[in-house]
Amino acid sequence: MDIKKLIRPNILALTPYSSARDEFTEIAEVYIDANENPFENGVNRYPDPYQMQVKNRLSEIKGIPTENMLIGNGSDEVLDLIFRVFCEPKQDNIISHNPSYGMYPVLCEVNDVELRKVNLEEGFILNAEEIINASDERTKIFFICSPNNPSGNLLQEEAITKVLESKKGIVVIDEAYIDFAHANSWITKLKQYSNLIVCQTLSKAWGLAGLRVGMCYASKEIITILNAIKPPYNVNELSQQRALEALNNKDEFDKHLATIMEEKDKMESALAKIELIEKIHPSDANFLLVKVPNANALYEFLLEHKIIVRNRTKEYLCKDCIRITIGTPEENVKLIEGIKAFK
């Protein structure tokens, strides 16, 4: 597939900003090339623009070469970079399914790109034909969120494959919740599909939402062009250090992940026993979408008891649903007690 045809002409033509750290990458004795303050305080130097230590460690964990990775200031930055590489404002469109992550419509507004929403079927099922039929010659990207937020389920592998194989555009699979899922990441298919971009994040299972570190994995061609437009020092020094520390402490990651999964099971059984709960949607994420008779009333009631859940009642297929994140064991007990107290 000719990816270049999908890239905006001005982006293909641009000369990237070349930072001092780009031009000289060896180890030197004297660093007086970047107008930094020379007095050491841990952050007086600009950070590595390509975050190589973090990428090397990610490469070991994910089994993906570093040249197939880009790291952003949260996946929100990564998604924005993808928009700006491919979508010509006022001309191009992107396609996403409905319901899905709330950032895609915002990015469309900000970048002045048309959003074509295709409704999921009952049970949050992706219909590949409908998604493909919604596209035209100005479609640049299909955004697929799997496991999906707010529904929590993995979207169907067969349907996603059809969208990839239609070759109607770039397919971005947002895998913010993949670590909680009983499925392989789509990063295993990168070699097979040149139009595939997989986004992940350290914000959820890795427990580092405050750091703002998001990743994307794609062909070297796509990564090169994303690197060309990203702000040079987009991931700050402290975030790189803390990200590396966390990635080097896989035991803690595994331990917390196991606890969250156990707590999710407990929460599901506890909710299933409550008469008020009409449905618990199947979830491959760290949250549960739960249907009740009156989501607004329950939401307000919990709020009065200082418990905040996400009211998703206005979303398509989510009428009277609240989204509950799995918290600490203590928080989860409070939530269950709170719901039980609701009359």
Ligand X SMILES: *Cc1c(COP(=O)(O)O)cnc(C)c1O
Q: Nearest-CA neighbor of 174 among 209, 217, 121, 210?
A: 217
Stretch that binds ligand X, among 6-14, 156-164, 199-207, 310-318 (CB under 6 A): 199-207
Provide the minimum distance between the beta carbon of 330 and ligand X in the complex, in angstroms, as a whole number: 23
**Residue 205 CB-half CA count within 13 A:** 22
Q: How far apart are CA 242 and CA 49, in angstroms?
A: 16
Q: Select from 74, 152, 169, 338 the one that contacts ligand X (CB under 6 A).
A: 74
Question: Are the CB atoms for 82 and 102 separated by under 8 Å?
Answer: no
Stretch that binds ligand X, among 155-163, 197-205, 220-228, 298-306 (CB under 6 A): 197-205
Residue list 137-156, contact with ligand X (CB under 6 A)? 145, 149
Q: Select from 146, 151, 195, 203 the one that contacts ligand X (CB under 6 A).
A: 203
Q: Looking at beta carbons only, is 20 or 229 nearer to ligand X?
A: 229
Residue list 78-107, contact with ligand X (CB under 6 A)? 101
Q: Select from 214, 240, 298, 315 the one that contacts ligand X (CB under 6 A).
A: 214
Q: Give the number of other CB atoms < 10 A from CB of residue 192.
A: 11
Provide the minimum distance between the beta carbon of 202 and ligand X in the complex, in angstroms, as a whole number: 7
Q: Give the number of other CB atoms < 10 A from CB of residue 136.
A: 10
How many residues in the shown chain lie near ligand X by CB under 6 A?
Answer: 13
Provide the minimum distance between the beta carbon of 38 and ligand X in the complex, in angstroms, as a whole number: 34
Residue nearest ligand X by beta-carbon distance: 74
Q: What is the token pair recorded at 218?
A: 């794609």
In sequence order, what E strands does 93-243 have?
Answer: 93-98, 114-119, 139-145, 170-174, 196-201, 214-217
Q: What are the helix and strand counts (H, E) for the chain? A: 12, 11
* Residue 302 within binding range of ligand X, rule CB under 6 A: no
Q: Let me know how long the chain is.
A: 343
